[in-house]
Amino acid sequence: MGRALAFRARYVDVKPRLSFARLSRRQLIAASIAGWMGNGLAQQAGPPHDIARSKTAIPPLKSLARFPLGCCIARPYLREAAYETLLLQQFSQVTAEWEMKMNQVLGDDGTYRFEAPDALVDFARRAGLALHGHALIWFKHAPVGIARLDGGGAAFERAYDDHIAGLVGRYRGRLRGWDVINEPIQPDGEGLRVSLFSRNLGDEAHMARAFEVARQADPDAVLFLNDYDLEMKPEKRRAFLRLVERLLARGVPLGGLGTQSHLSLAMRPGAARQALADLAGFGLPIHVSELDISLGRHRLDGAELAGARAGQARILEEVLNAFHDLPPAQQYAITFWGLRDADSWWRKPPLNRAHDEPVLFDDGGGAKKLAETAAASLARAR
Ligand code: XIL
């Protein structure tokens, strides 16, 4: 049995049959989808989204996507074997949810702790997962280790450069790309964020500098500007696009655009497609970098819950289909922000949406109907 088949047999509940060996990978996927869609149809006793959990095994999503399919991970989750199994079964790329952020790696005294990011990088290498780096400069994280140099001129500059060069250089050649500047735009698009970094190094100058230093440290990594609400707030998207234009005009080595895509049911149909088309206008690789679709703050039941899940599925389909329609060279990856609902940041403090179900797999790791929707969209798009 070939490695690919052994893999399928292990993860997809498909008993390998000899005849599979004669099928192309494409035929194999098509056959498995057909069987699984057939089951789906047989189940349709009630409204299509009345059951959250799929009764059928889905094919590995990563085998259906023609671009890297990512998920955020964090070290504590990896202690659970079931987590790792599901992750490896479904995804081909990972982003560290915390471990590479400035507040995690930089100690108060300005020294660095690389143990956790090193462990994740090693894990990804052993598992054959691609890796995306997140996030070098984020207005939210101004830890003591660098804040103590506020106003310090050259000392601040040195610490800033060292942070970027230290992380990017350490993993040179091992990460596909980095979110160099995370969340540069004010919440409603009213200009640029003010931060420790912008105050010390200039609004756009600190961004340009970060990209330059990162480029030096790993010339092959794709360097991203990443932000949220680019779909739901057109004003914010316009401000983001104007910033991209200015940075490119001044020769900044900005190599990709990330749209976090923390989406909600309030999103107008077509908004995600429009956002992806607008972002893609620069011809740069696009990363849907933190995809999840929240059902909202409150617990829903009955018809309301079914309606919300149906809306969620429509949004996911729109994102996947619109991403698929980008030129292949611009499809950097789609990354989900959370493997199982229970792992999602929406469930945890300070957001505390205890009943939310923003991602593809349920608390127990079962494929939800939403995961079936993802599989169907990805399969159709091949
Ligand atoms: C979030 C994590 O998911 C949380 O666990 C953490 O406490 C805070 O950060 N935008 C980003 C991500 O760029 O890094 C954030 O991740 C979610 C919003």
User: For residue 131, what is the enclosing H or E element?
Assistant: strand 130-133
Nearest atom in ligand 1 to the alpha carbon of residue 134 is 14
User: What is the 312 CA–ligand 1 centroid distance (Å)?
Assistant: 21
Sequential pLDDT tens for the chain (382 residues): 333 333 232 222 222 222 223 334 443 344 343 333 333 222 333 333 334 565 558 999 999 999 999 999 999 999 999 999 999 999 999 999 999 999 999 999 999 999 999 999 999 999 999 999 999 999 999 999 999 999 999 999 999 999 999 999 999 999 999 999 999 999 999 999 999 999 999 999 999 999 999 999 999 999 999 999 999 999 999 999 999 999 999 999 999 999 999 999 999 999 999 999 999 999 999 999 999 999 999 999 999 999 999 999 999 999 999 999 999 999 999 999 999 999 999 999 999 999 999 999 999 999 999 999 999 999 988 7
| Residue among 290, 343, 344, 356 whose CB has most ligand 1 atoms within 8 A, to mutate | 290
Name the residue with the closest Cα to ligand 1, atom 16: 97
Name the residue with the closest Cα to ligand 1, atom 5: 345
Q: Is residue 185 within 8 Å of 193, Cβ to Cβ?
A: yes
- Measured distance between the N- and C-terminal CA atoms of the chain, rounded to whole angstroms: 25
Exposed, middle or buried: residue 37 (CB in 10 Å: 0-12, 13-18, 19+)?
A: middle
d(CA 182, CA 175): 17
User: What is the 56 CA–ligand 1 centroid distance (Å)?
Assistant: 32
Ligand 1 pocket at CB < 6 A: 97, 135, 182, 260, 290, 345
Strands 93-96 and 69-73: parallel
| Residue among 72, 97, 346 whose CB has most ligand 1 atoms within 8 A, to mutate | 97
DSSP 135-175: -SEETT---HHHHTTTT-THHHHHHHHHHHHHHHHHTTTT-
φ, ψ of residue 268 to 5 degrees: the values are -70, 140
User: What is the 337 CA–ligand 1 centroid distance (Å)?
Assistant: 9
Nearest atom in ligand 1 to the alpha carbon of residue 338 is 3
Tokens found for residue 26: 């494409």
Question: Closest Cα partner for 70 from 26, 132, 142, 153?
Answer: 132
User: What is the 251 CA–ligand 1 centroid distance (Å)?
Assistant: 30
User: What is the 352 CA–ligand 1 centroid distance (Å)?
Assistant: 14
What pLDDT is recorded for position 55? 54
| DSSP conformation class of 367 | B
Q: Is residue 292 within 8 Å of 263, Cβ to Cβ?
A: yes
Nearest atom in ligand 1 to the alpha carbon of residue 72 is 3
CA-CA-CA-CA dihedral for 36, 40, 41, 47, to nearest 10: -160
Q: Is residue 139 within 8 Å of 197, Cβ to Cβ?
A: yes
User: What is the 7 CA–ligand 1 centroid distance (Å)?
Assistant: 32
User: What is the 97 CA–ligand 1 centroid distance (Å)?
Assistant: 6
User: What is the 135 CA–ligand 1 centroid distance (Å)?
Assistant: 10
Name the residue with the closest Cα to ligand 1, atom 12: 97
**Residue 254, CA distances (Å) to 90, 158, 328, 362 in order:** 30, 21, 19, 37
| Residue among 95, 183, 337, 340 whose CB has most ligand 1 atoms within 8 A, to mutate | 337
Nearest atom in ligand 1 to the alpha carbon of residue 337 is 3
User: What is the 119 CA–ligand 1 centroid distance (Å)?
Assistant: 19
| Residue among 98, 259, 339 whose CB has most ligand 1 atoms within 8 A, to mutate | 98
Question: Closest Cα partner for 282 from 333, 326, 232?
Answer: 326
Nearest atom in ligand 1 to the alpha carbon of residue 182 is 13
User: What is the 181 CA–ligand 1 centroid distance (Å)?
Assistant: 14
What pLDDT is recorded for position 382? 74
What pLDDT is recorded for position 40? 29
Is the peptide bond between 350 and the residue preceding it cis, with omega within 30 degrees of 0? Answer: yes
Q: Is residue 139 within 8 Å of 194, Cβ to Cβ?
A: yes
